[in-house]
Structure 1
Amino acid sequence: MAVLGHMENQGSSIITALGAGSGIDFIQLASDLSEASFEPRRANLENRNTALEAQISSATLLRSSLNNLARALGDRVRNGDLSPQPSLGNSAIADVTTTVGIAPQGNYSLEVSQLAQSQTLASQSYGAGTDLVGEGTLNIRFGTVDGTSFTEDTEQDGLAIEVTADDTLASIAAKISTGSDGKLFAYVAQGSSGAQLVIKGEDGAQNGFVLEPVSTGSLPSGTPGNLDYLNWNPASDSGELRQAAQDAVFNLDTVEFTSASNTVTGLPEGIGLTLNETNVGAPATLSFNANDGAITAVMTDFVAALNDVVLLLNEEASGLGSTLGNDSGARGLRADLSSLASEIVMPGAEDGEPSTLGDLGLSITREGTFQLDTERLDATLASSPDGAAAMFTAGAFGVFATIDGLARENTLFSDPGSLGGSITRYEAQIDRNEERLSRVADNQESLRNRLTRSFIAAQSNVTQSQSTLSFLQQQIDAFNSSN
């Protein structure tokens, strides 16, 4: 760079010397002429890029507004409050949930005859939790306890807990809890009868268990301090079993179901239950009712959000003078919005059931804005509450699917007729213009160099002519003086 700078200074000195007081800066003149030659084209490209960037910004705003509308509506649908709400005649029996995307209908009877519970054992008594339990291995197997019999569940891995000579009642409780990977929980209860090891399993009939210690200690068998003092099976039970493991049993519409847990899923129509109490002989009625208030509220918000999109569309794409006045993506969005109220969103709806957004009260004014026809919405909710609720699911059809599809179709970067396609097109034009600006800069620099060389050569010729003219003038002056 230092060499280049030296050459430029040298060229300037040469021109200044050759200029011989002419007052002309040929370096600046060459730069000014080359810049003036290319300024119109460069300014046109830069102005075009500024306009394209504004178009990208406007299309991005519209694209974001559509995606935000679809996202917000999806959140409301997935929240579940727009689906039919469950109502249980005896609410103390169970808590009821529904699956997003499924709208249960009709009434069901629910009768709970048995709750799921876990097996609980309380060992024979020790003096204190610090008492030694004896050395050996405490084996635990899982399965079903039925009266005095035990049937092992071979699908469940048993436990083999190593017990050292230093283990106490408290330390073996900790080993059981940590070694069972959550299947068992053990602790020491210091009650009026002394210290007892309490062990609790998981809910469900197959989660019962037996204790089968193998002692290597020296104390007499069957006494505290010998590990076999913790032995337990249903045939030898003498009061250690405080609660038997069992499944939940209930009837839904007189059909019997069993569950290892009181939290039950996978029932018909996406119904879920958390069983709390039994109601043998007194079935409770489970019904599902449309949440009219929530549907009206979401339609009100939906119309307001649509009008925000329309307002933005009018600001950015109304007429040829606007940023997106001649944009195909903006025109496509306007066309889609104009037919939105009449679009069928529930193609499988039966005659008389709501199938369009217009059936939910959506209408469009002459000015192209949206409004909510509350009378039509109320009539739909009154005549077909289940059909209206079914339109607010996360399935393949419905209000959300329609708006989500509208957003996707109008924002795809790969579709030249969408807002996303417009953004892609404008960005490509900017890239091409940047390449042209680069070529303009190269051509301008090439012209400046040519002009500089030309001016140096021309000035050199002028200087030589001036020198010759000066010599001749001297000769003439000398001749005149001699005469």
Structure 2
Amino acid sequence: MENPGSSIISALGAGSGVDFIRLADDISTASFAFQRETVQARRETLEAQISAAGQLRGAITSLASALGDRIRNGDLAPRGELGNPAIARVSVPAGLSPRGTFALEVTQLAQGQTLVGRSYASREDLVGAGTLTLRFGTVDGASFTADAARDPLEITVSADDTLASLAARITRESGGAVSAYVATGTNGAQLVMKGAEGAASGFVVEATGAGGGAVPGDLSYLGWSPATDAGELRGIARDAAFALDTVAMTSPTNRVTGLPGGFTLNLAGTNQGAPTSLTFANNIEAISGVMGDFVAALNDIAEQSSVLASPLGGTLGNDPGARELRRDLAALAGQIVMPGAAAGEPRTLADIGLALNRDGTFRLDTARLNQALESSPDAVAAMFTTGPSGVFATIDRFARENSLASDPGSIGGSVRRFEAQLERSDERLERIAEQQEALRERLTRDLVAAERRVAASQSTLTFIQQQVDIWSADR
């Protein structure tokens, strides 16, 4: 920043003629140049190390994520095949791997109660003030058994409520237990109410109006019970009924859970008298393909770590996290991934073909993999689930342990350490800038003061010179 006093002195042609503002700036810059350049060089190194460590961390977490996704949703995902796919859809929750063949016979689908009320002239007709109560339970012929565990739904109907607004209130206030709407057809406007699936989700409608009788305009016109049914009941609430391996079962909904091996059925049709097969089989070809891709992905990580963590010129050559990653990679083939495996069944990644080369890369021993697939296909398939044991669990644990930021010996810990050092470097650069600015301001003040004194001395010298010249002329 230019000093006003120095500028005025320079403009008048006085002073030493030296640009003290520039001189102060140059001196302060030069005084801190070495420190600043050293910190900036360190900062560039840290940025490169953060990038390299982040690259390795990203590679191992991506491997675990991709492997898990392929097991859950890809060609390794457990799938059931139905001989008659129109009967049901089969799904398997993550981490489960059902096996075997089952016979499935569906005799009845679950459904909800459907009730179509008596006719009104218009959906905007007033229904009358009063109280509408829905009680839930089981409808059986002309009888109704209330479910004591469920509270009835009580709606206070105002004199301004129409058939349409009442339908909306039933849907909203029942929380989805009953869906209601107004259907306008050849018989006029009718209130349609549909309950949830399951025999216990039936309902009766108790309507207390103004006492004018069951006529349009009085709320009691909407009341219904199985004992007084006059054709309003169009669908009876019922459970799904089916047999699995001839064992009779029921379900309140068409989504059936808790089946052997953990699979789920979404029933869609009936096949009474014609059971269909449901088969869960191992995908041997998919396992071979996954192992090939798995080895290729491990080699990508091994090659990256070999370059980045090389003792000779590697960005992470002296980093403990990178060294630990390389050690863990080298030990991966021998890790026990199935601690509960029976004698003779594969327990380690080496048992299903993962082999380590002398240079730290991996190869697939197809002969050993094929032998395991032939002798223990079910045991090999069990290694490829998302459960607590297996290939995915091992790789996921490997990725998590090496990415753990709180562990200073992991690659994740290295990233945190480098980031902390980078932050300190930035703080150091800020302090250097502050110290340099303070020195520049002090030098500027001192040099400008010196400039003023020089200017004053020059003025005095000029006056004396003029007096000497006058005296000399008088002689």
- TM-score bin (small chain): 0.7 to 0.9
2:31 equivalent to 1:5: no
RMSD: 4.1
Q: What pairs with 1:34-49 in structure 2 (closer than 5 Å)?
A: 39-49=33-43
Residue 273 (structure 1) shift: 0.8
Preserved contact between residue 239 and residue 250 of structure 2 (Cα < 8 Å):
yes
Name the amino acid aligned to 2:133.
N
232, 238, 249: which is aligned to 1:246? 238
273, 296, 309: which is aligned to 1:304? 296
Name the CA distance, whole Å, in 1 between partners of 2:124 and 2:54. 74
Output one character per residue of 1:258-294: Cα deviation in whole Å (capped at 9) or x when no partner: 2211111233321111112334454433331112343
Q: What pairs with 1:365-444 in structure 2 (closer than 5 Å)?
A: 365-433=357-425
Name the CA distance, whole Å, in 1 between partners of 2:435 and 2:190. 96
Name the CA distance, whole Å, in 2 between partners of 1:27 and 1:165. 89
Name the amino acid aligned to 1:258.
T
Identical columns (%): 53
Secondary structure at the aligned position of 2:60 is classed as helix
Given the superposition, is the C-alpha separation of residues 40 and 270 from structure 1 closer, same or farther in structure 2, using an over 3 Å criterion? same
45, 67, 71: which is aligned to 1:73? 67
Preserved contact between residue 123 and residue 189 of structure 2 (Cα < 8 Å):
no
Preserved contact between residue 137 and residue 213 of structure 1 (Cα < 8 Å):
yes
Given the superposition, is the C-alpha separation of residues 10 and 376 from structure 1 closer, same or farther in structure 2, using an over 3 Å criterion? farther
278, 283, 298: which is aligned to 1:286? 278
152, 156, 160: which is aligned to 1:158? 152
Name the CA distance, whole Å, in 1 between partners of 2:131 and 2:23. 101
Name the amino acid aligned to 2:351.
D
Preserved contact between residue 127 and residue 163 of structure 2 (Cα < 8 Å):
no
- Match for residue 481 of structure 1? none
TM-score, normalised by the number of residues in structure 2? 0.79
Name the amino acid aligned to 1:140.
L
2:323 equivalent to 1:340: no
- Match for residue 46 of structure 2? 52
Name the CA distance, whole Å, in 2 between partners of 1:422 and 1:226. 77
Preserved contact between residue 214 and residue 227 of structure 1 (Cα < 8 Å):
yes
Name the amino acid aligned to 1:370.
F
Name the CA distance, whole Å, in 1 between partners of 2:86 and 2:444. 96
Residue 232 (structure 1) shift: 3.0
180, 188, 193: which is aligned to 2:183? 188
142, 146, 156: which is aligned to 1:148? 142
Residue 51 (structure 1) shift: 1.9
Preserved contact between residue 132 and residue 166 of structure 1 (Cα < 8 Å):
no
Given the superposition, is the C-alpha separation of residues 127 and 398 from structure 1 closer, same or farther in structure 2, using an over 3 Å criterion? closer
Preserved contact between residue 189 and residue 198 of structure 1 (Cα < 8 Å):
no
Q: What pairs with 1:85-100 in structure 2 (closer than 5 Å)?
A: 85-100=79-94
Given the superposition, is the C-alpha separation of residues 109 and 80 from structure 1 closer, same or farther in structure 2, using an over 3 Å criterion? farther
Preserved contact between residue 308 and residue 314 of structure 2 (Cα < 8 Å):
yes
Secondary structure at the aligned position of 1:349 is classed as coil
Flag structure 1 segments of 5+ consecutive residues without an equivalent: 479-483
308, 330, 335: which is aligned to 2:322? 330
Output one character per residue of 1:379-399: Cα deviation in whole Å (capped at 9) or x when no partner: 333333322222222222222
Secondary structure at the aligned position of 1:414 is classed as coil
Preserved contact between residue 128 and residue 190 of structure 1 (Cα < 8 Å):
no
Output one character per residue of 1:313-364: Cα deviation in whole Å (capped at 9) or x when no partner: 2332223212112222111111111221221112112222222222333223
Flag structure 2 segments of 5+ consecutive residues without an equivalent: none
Preserved contact between residue 85 and residue 291 of structure 1 (Cα < 8 Å):
no
Name the CA distance, whole Å, in 2 between partners of 1:45 and 1:437. 7
Name the amino acid aligned to 1:121.
L
Q: Which moved more, 1:343-352 or 1:421-430?
A: 421-430
Name the CA distance, whole Å, in 2 between partners of 1:160 and 1:299. 61
Given the superposition, is the C-alpha separation of residues 165 and 311 from structure 1 closer, same or farther in structure 2, using an over 3 Å criterion? same
Name the CA distance, whole Å, in 2 between partners of 1:272 and 1:430. 52
Name the amino acid aligned to 2:276.
A
Preserved contact between residue 66 and residue 309 of structure 1 (Cα < 8 Å):
yes
Name the CA distance, whole Å, in 2 between partners of 1:261 and 1:305. 44
Name the amino acid aligned to 1:5.
N
Residue 241 (structure 1) shift: 2.9
Preserved contact between residue 142 and residue 227 of structure 2 (Cα < 8 Å):
yes
Q: What pairs with 1:118-267 in structure 2 (closer than 5 Å)?
A: 118-123=112-117, 126=119, 128-129=121-122, 135=128, 136-161=130-155, 173=167, 176-182=170-176, 183-188=178-183, 190-191=185-186, 197-216=191-210, 218=212, 228-267=220-259
Residue 300 (structure 1) shift: 3.0
Given the superposition, is the C-alpha separation of residues 139 and 306 from structure 1 closer, same or farther in structure 2, using an over 3 Å criterion? same
Output one character per residue of 1:36-68: Cα deviation in whole Å (capped at 9) or x when no partner: 565445433332332222222211221222222
Name the CA distance, whole Å, in 1 between partners of 2:123 and 2:352. 71
Name the CA distance, whole Å, in 2 between partners of 1:450 and 1:195. 94
Name the CA distance, whole Å, in 2 between partners of 1:97 and 1:439. 62
Name the CA distance, whole Å, in 2 between partners of 1:442 and 1:230. 83
235, 260, 276: which is aligned to 2:268? 276
2:352 equivalent to 1:360: yes
Preserved contact between residue 136 and residue 147 of structure 2 (Cα < 8 Å):
yes
Preserved contact between residue 83 and residue 390 of structure 1 (Cα < 8 Å):
no
Output one character per residue of 1:216-246: Cα deviation in whole Å (capped at 9) or x when no partner: 3646x5x666654544322233443333211
Name the CA distance, whole Å, in 1 between partners of 2:366 and 2:151. 62
Name the amino acid aligned to 1:359.
D
Residue 215 (structure 1) shift: 3.9
Name the CA distance, whole Å, in 2 between partners of 1:119 and 1:312. 63
Secondary structure at the aligned position of 1:211 is classed as strand
Secondary structure at the aligned position of 1:413 is classed as coil
Name the CA distance, whole Å, in 2 between partners of 1:122 and 1:454. 100
Residue 205 (structure 1) shift: 0.7
Given the superposition, is the C-alpha separation of residues 8 and 68 from structure 1 closer, same or farther in structure 2, using an over 3 Å criterion? farther
Residue 150 (structure 1) shift: 0.7
Given the superposition, is the C-alpha separation of residues 347 and 187 from structure 1 closer, same or farther in structure 2, using an over 3 Å criterion? same
TM-score, normalised by the number of residues in structure 1? 0.78
Name the CA distance, whole Å, in 1 between partners of 2:65 and 2:152. 48
Indicate the structure (1 or 2) with the bigger Cα radius of gyration: 1
Preserved contact between residue 9 and residue 15 of structure 2 (Cα < 8 Å):
no
